[in-house]
Structure 1
């Protein structure tokens, strides 16, 4: 994984791992905190997430990821766990096989008589290609009937799949939740529209963000499917021409939009696979602001944040969030970062 030593310079206390959805503990999913960070000055401010209605201006453009989380943790008949990572075709998936003994097999067996053949290595050394005995809608139904949401060690309760969805997602395909938009409620989105904030959409199906046992994806070998439509492209050009801001909800949206930007032709409608890696040396061409969660020291998402704000300022803001006991991960608090201007 490509990382910078500065990004490792904070430690996350275990008690800041969010383990419970906000709507369970505080009745509504929007009841989380928001740290705003200004890329130029490095100054930060503390807010509630619902303050986003005041922080965004009329004709700012908020871009959401419509990808919906699928239940991507499967159990074999003998109890082994398989985690979906990326769809290759209607029957073939790239997966993470957690038990070494299963990697030594040639066929995996699941409930309902479904099986999968191991057909080769995946794009990353930790991943494996498997071909299921069924495909298409039948295979998707099998996932929904027998799969569970992927959870990591800090989650100790088996939350329902609905807790791993955003209210606006409608295209099944992500193996993990696009959690930056989780706190938006239908009411908040309507309030933003009533204020004059514009909303547009992209789709990016997320792959696995962690391979267990302290193994993280190499961003350049981490391919994800995305789509940026013509309406969104037109909306962005109109926003930019009017001198307003484009705000991405999630690192997935940044990756999709910057992947669709051609150095010569500019932003174009596009769909396909991307392995675009964004870090401190990247000049962002499309996005002006980013709403995102708080990320662990090892996560490559932090590399992307350094395209918005200098590493030192980012880590100082993260330390402030730790001091104020902001919560991390998919059920945690959020961060709004305004991009630094470039000379």
Structure 2
């Protein structure tokens, strides 16, 4: 079995290891420190991350905000429809109608017992509706979204958070607050999933980082539903990565260049931040400001051009994200790290514990 076969990136995980609910305290998670140099594994706590990071490290976080992008509507026939908005709000080309309504052509997942017809208008809640367009693969469709006022407000009023499917439960009150990172900005609303590594940080941890002289820089990657999509190709080189919209400001680029020049490690918080750094570098050939779509698939053999490590969660088997960490730290070391985490009571996936790869 070679490193390009999907089965190489599988591992066993009992259902009881999957974290289904958020912890009461953000920073209460366990942290597995993985040293790539000697393969050492160290059990630690996320609250102590400031002492575990290399001196002067620069953390790079994703500041996008999750929107309640799942909407439920009714057809004129009475049939129920569910729509999951996939197009990030900042990427929409918005037109204003004479009657005060706005509209934009967007992409989303449409689910219905009997598919709506092209041109059919479906009410999705108060002051928000859609008109069906062309249907695509895997349930994706192009629709025209109609709304009055501010779209983010309409989603907040009418929508539900698109929680990961593996949680296997509907949204609860605690999710509204906990499925949002400390770094999320209101003007960066548009992700359909949380950049979950950021969920571990709270005000106390951020204070400890500042006190330790560890700076934080921000990037924006609007997480798409493709983050939950399985890798279907048996040879991972045949996998087509979903595209996501990313932004890196000139200020962040300068922070990273300065850290590199001073020999300070750049540690992304989450795979979304890492893919933004590496995707922007692939697009520009340097550490420069960037704004656009990235579809970088980080797989073995890949050498990072910007990132010097990674703070992340534990990922689904056979997923593009598990393949990413294997590219970063080596498949054998990651398999050993995941087995250690499984056997010593770590919690996995979005609401689970964390890993620091150095």
Answer whether TM exceeds 0.5 for this pair.
yes
Correspondence for 1:168? 183
Distance 1:261 1:210 in 2: 21
2:59 matches 1:66: no
Q: Deviations over 1:3-55 (max 9, x none)?
A: 622111x11111111111112xxxx1110111111223332111111121111
Correspondence for 1:341? none
* Residues 262 and 268 in structure 1, CA contact (< 8 A), matched pair in contact too: no
Distance 1:306 1:103 in 2: 42
Cα 1:39–1:167 shift into 2, 3 Å: same
Correspondence for 1:93? 106
Distance 1:219 1:258 in 2: 18
> What is the RMSD computed on CA atoms of the aligned residues?
2.4
Indicate which of 7, 18, 33 corresponds to 1:5.
7
* Residues 210 and 216 in structure 1, CA contact (< 8 A), matched pair in contact too: no
Cα 1:100–1:286 shift into 2, 3 Å: farther
- What's the TM-score once normalised by structure 1's chain length? 0.88
- Structure 1's consecutive aligned runs of 4 or more residues displaced over 4 angstroms after TM superposition are 103-106, 214-219, 262-265
- What's the TM-score once normalised by structure 2's chain length? 0.85
TM superposition shift of 1:211: 6.4
2:165 matches 1:145: no
* Residues 127 and 154 in structure 2, CA contact (< 8 A), matched pair in contact too: no
TM superposition shift of 1:307: 2.1
Cα 1:37–1:142 shift into 2, 3 Å: same
* Residues 118 and 133 in structure 2, CA contact (< 8 A), matched pair in contact too: no
* Matches for 1:1-343 after TM superposition, within 5 Å: 4-8=6-10, 10-23=11-24, 28-77=25-74, 78-87=79-88, 89=92, 90=94, 91-99=104-112, 101-102=114-115, 104=117, 106-107=119-120, 108-112=122-126, 114-122=128-136, 125-134=138-147, 137-151=149-163, 152-156=165-169, 158-160=171-173, 161-170=176-185, 171-209=188-226, 220-262=240-282, 265-338=285-358
TM superposition shift of 1:306: 1.8
TM superposition shift of 1:226: 0.5
Q: Deviations over 1:252-288 (max 9, x none)?
A: 0011111111588421111011111111122100001
In the alignment of these two chains, the number of paired residues is 329
TM superposition shift of 1:179: 0.7
Distance 1:156 1:99 in 2: 19
Distance 2:254 2:203 in 1: 25
